[in-house]
């Protein structure tokens, strides 16, 4: 473990310069450093709390929005697609192949309806930004770039959707999340409001492991279903501790497996990130010296020591040695390769992330962007509008895990009302978190302090990158 911590300290100076920015960008008048709880009837349509059509919406957070909101169906939008776009080609860069996934039928239908050919380039997830940069430099940029993370320094390789003729003020567009891809009043990503492709932070659990530990009366889904207010972090830690104890505290048995993104989702659920963005100040700052952040990390470090959680436990979840694992909602899809054996045996359960009086729910970004140099940018929003519409999918067969749709929709609805978004982490964050959670909790503050300067430098680099955007 000491070697791991030492390695972490050596690598963070490099990694932190590429650090993921976890921010919640709303209109300036809506921004708060604390959690925002909206009225039950509020709408995510910008400038329109009632959800009614407006002739004068505020456009302070993205000029891609026009002055009037619309509420069009997919077919109505497609009927407005310019004739000149028919028969063209869209080049799509992604780390998976959407034409071989649950999107394949929707893409085929789009191609048939429009005559537009969709060409997919599948690239290595960990190298996607480098590959994109090289494609742009070579004059061979894709028209669509899929990303689940955003760095200000990367935005320079993307073009704002504000430049397109498409009207993004339709209620179908998820401006709550698109605001997180808005810098200097320019927006760089697209996502629908009502789509099955928003990665939502969920807890997965092994039903077979639960039964073997004789914890059938403590089923997480049942607890949540009976009363969502009972599914708290305290209850979660209780189940983790019980599972470890029922297995005799044996080596290799843990309550939950935590990876880096789980740590960020946990911290974000309490209204914090390691680097935050203040819309009023237009400034990113490190939170490593924030007492609240330090206390949250102390909690996780203590849980590692007690075996309630295992930092990057690896493999134990599917084998029944770890009760919980954090992951994203798309892993419940029938065509998703993760947890296939558990799915096939109906042993995979899901439940929302726990909450309590001071925490909220969150979800990760999934955005489709248009790179600089794209040859067919005008066709992209029509493509996104078509393939992301849930009406193009059979939700009864989309999910392999029972109750998926119920849990996902409840979580998404709650997260929207809480205005709490989570921009996903990146592989660059790994070494920092590994060292932090590998140390005794008495060392947490000291450890955070030791990295504070590097994270301040990363925040300053983010501020510089945003100031340099055209």
- DSSP notation for 117-160: EEEEEE--GGGHHHHHHHHHHTT---SEEEES---HHHHTTB--
* pLDDT exceeds cutoff 50 at 60: no
Rounded to an integer, the average pLDDT of 62-85 is: 84
**225 and 114 co-located in one domain:** no
Q: What is the mean pLDDT of residues 156-172?
A: 93
Residue 183 makes CB contacts below 8 A (sequence gap 6+) with 152, 155, 466, 469
- Cα gap 168→69, rounded to integer Å: 9
H/E run at residue 268: helix 260-268
In a domain, 268, yes or no: yes
Domain assignment present for residue 205? The answer is yes
Query: Coil, strand or helix: which one is 398?
Result: helix
Mean pLDDT of 266-280: 74
In sequence order, what are the beta bridge partners of 277? 284
What average pLDDT score do residues 446-454 get?
85
Contacts 24+ apart (CB under 8 A), 288-292: 288/448, 288/449, 288/451, 288/452, 288/455, 289/448, 289/449, 289/452
- Please count the CA atoms within 13 angstroms of the CA of 443 that sit on its side-chain side: 13
Distance CA 468, CA 460 (A): 12
Position 405 in a domain = no
Least confident of 284-288, 292-296, 305-309: 284-288
- 35-49, 134-148, 204-218, 321-335: segment of lowest average pLDDT: 35-49
CATH number at residue 214: 3.40.190.10
Ranges assigned E (strand) in 231-331: 254-258, 275-278, 283-286, 309-311, 322-328
**Could you tell me if residue 297 is inside a domain?**
yes
CB burial readout 359-369, b (16+ within 10 A) else e: bbbbbbbbbbb
pLDDT over threshold 90, residue 161 = yes
**How far is Cα 169 from Cα 167, in angstroms, rounded to an integer?**
6
Q: Given this model, what pLDDT does residue 447 score?
A: 84
Average pLDDT over residues 353-382: 84
Q: Which domain holds residue 373?
A: 44-195+365-393
Co-location of 124 and 234 in the same domain: no
Phi, psi (degrees; rounded to nearest 5) at 204 = -100, 140
pTM, 2 dp: 0.74
Average pLDDT over every residue of 345-352: 94
Phi, psi angle pair for 73, to nearest 5°: -75, 165
Identify whether residues 90 and 135 lie together within a single domain.
yes
Mark whether 279 and 251 lie in a shared domain.
yes
The CA distance from 464 to 459, in Å, is 9
pLDDT digits (tens, 9 = 90+) for 229-253: 999 999 999 999 999 999 999 988 9
Both 167 and 267 in a single domain? no
Mean pLDDT in residue range 389-394? 88
Q: Kindly tell me the sign of the dihedral angle through the C-alpha atoms of 424, 430, 432, 438.
A: positive
Tokens of 263: 């740590």
Residue where a domain terminates, one of 393, 413, 438: 393
If one counts every other C-beta atom within 10 angstroms of the C-beta of residue 119, the result is 12
Q: Dihedral through CA 221, CA 424, CA 58, CA 163, nearest 10?
A: -130
On whether residue 14 sits in a domain, the answer given is no
If asked whether residues 122 and 243 sit together in one domain, one would say: no
Distance of CA 194 to the CA centre of its chain: 16
**Is a pLDDT exceeding 90 seen at residue 133?**
yes
| 356, part of any domain | yes
Any idea which residue has 């409001």 for tokens? 193
Specify whether 215 is located in the same domain as 346: yes
Look at residue 36 and tell me if it is in a domain.
Answer: no
Model confidence at 55, pLDDT cuts 50, 70, 90, reads: very low
Burial class (CB in 10 A: 0-12, 13-18, 19+), 250: exposed
**371, 358: one domain:** no
3-state secondary structure of 278: strand
Which tokens in the block code for residue 173?
């567009």
**3-state DSSP of 70-89:** ECCCHHHHHHCCCHHHCCCE
What's the gap between Cα 81 and its chain centre? 30
Please list the helix, strand and coil fractions of the chain in percent, rounded to the nearest 5, in that order: 45, 15, 40
Of 250, 266, 294, 293, which is closest to residue 420 (Cα–Cα)? 266
Same domain membership, residue 208 and residue 184: no
Q: Please state, in angstroms and rounded to a whole number, the distance separating the CA atoms of residues 252 and 47.
A: 52
Dist. CA 168–CA 186, nearest whole Å: 13
Residue 205 pLDDT exceeds 60: yes
Task: Check whether residue 82 and residue 111 sit in a common domain.
Answer: yes
Asked, for residue 89, whether it belongs to a domain, the answer is: yes
Residues 90 and 235 in one domain: no
pLDDT at 453: 85
Does residue 131 sit in the same domain as residue 262?
A: no
- Count structural domains, the chain: 2
């Amino acid at each position: 473990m000491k070697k791991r911590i030492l390695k972490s300290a050596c690598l963070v100076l490099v990694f932190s310069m590429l650090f993921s920015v976890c921010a919640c960008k709303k209109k300036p008048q809506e921004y708060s450093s604390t959690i925002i709880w909206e009225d039950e009837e509020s709408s995510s349509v910008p400038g329109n709390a009632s959800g009614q059509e407006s002739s004068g919406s505020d456009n302070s957070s993205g000029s891609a929005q026009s002055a009037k909101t619309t509420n069009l169906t997919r077919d109505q939008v497609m009927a407005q697609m310019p004739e000149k776009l028919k028969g063209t080609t869209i080049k799509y860069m992604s780390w998976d192949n959407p034409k071989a996934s649950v999107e394949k039928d929707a893409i085929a239908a789009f191609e048939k309806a429009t005559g537009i050919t969709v060409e997919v380039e599948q690239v290595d997830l960990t190298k996607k930004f480098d590959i994109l940069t090289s494609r742009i430099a070579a004059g061979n940029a894709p028209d669509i770039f899929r990303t689940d993370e955003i760095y200000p320094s990367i935005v320079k390789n993307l073009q704002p959707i504000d430049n397109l003729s498409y009207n993004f003020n339709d209620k179908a567009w998820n401006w709550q999340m698109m605001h997180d891809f808005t810098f200097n009043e320019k927006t760089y990503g697209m996502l629908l409001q009502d789509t099955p492709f928003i990665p939502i932070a969920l807890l997965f659990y092994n039903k077979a492991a639960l039964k073997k530990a004789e914890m059938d009366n403590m089923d997480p889904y049942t607890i949540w279903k009976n009363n969502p207010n009972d599914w708290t972090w305290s209850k979660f830690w209780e189940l983790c501790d019980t599972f470890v104890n029922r297995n005799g505290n044996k080596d290799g048995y843990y309550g939950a497996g935590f990876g880096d993104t789980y740590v960020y989702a946990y911290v974000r659920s309490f209204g914090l990130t390691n680097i935050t963005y203040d819309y009023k100040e237009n400034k990113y700052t490190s939170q490593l010296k924030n007492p609240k952040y330090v206390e949250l990390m102390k909690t996780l470090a203590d849980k590692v020591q007690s075996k309630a959680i295992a930092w990057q436990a690896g493999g134990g979840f599917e084998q029944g040695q770890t009760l919980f694992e954090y992951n994203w909602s798309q892993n419940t899809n029938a065509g998703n390769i993760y947890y296939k054996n558990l799915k096939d045996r109906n042993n995979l359960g899901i439940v929302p992330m726990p909450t309590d009086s001071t925490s909220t729910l969150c979800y990760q970004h999934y955005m489709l962007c248009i790179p600089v140099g794209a040859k067919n940018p005008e066709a992209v929003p029509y493509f996104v509008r078509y393939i992301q519409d849930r009406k193009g999918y059979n939700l009864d067969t989309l999910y392999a895990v029972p109750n998926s749709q119920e849990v996902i929709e409840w979580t998404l609805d709650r997260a929207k009302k809480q205005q709490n978004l989570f921009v996903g982490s990146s592989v660059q964050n790994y070494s920092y978190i590994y060292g932090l959670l590998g140390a005794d909790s008495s060392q947490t503050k000291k450890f955070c302090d030791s990295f504070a300067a590097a994270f301040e430098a990363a925040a300053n680099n983010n501020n510089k990158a945003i100031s340099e955007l055209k």
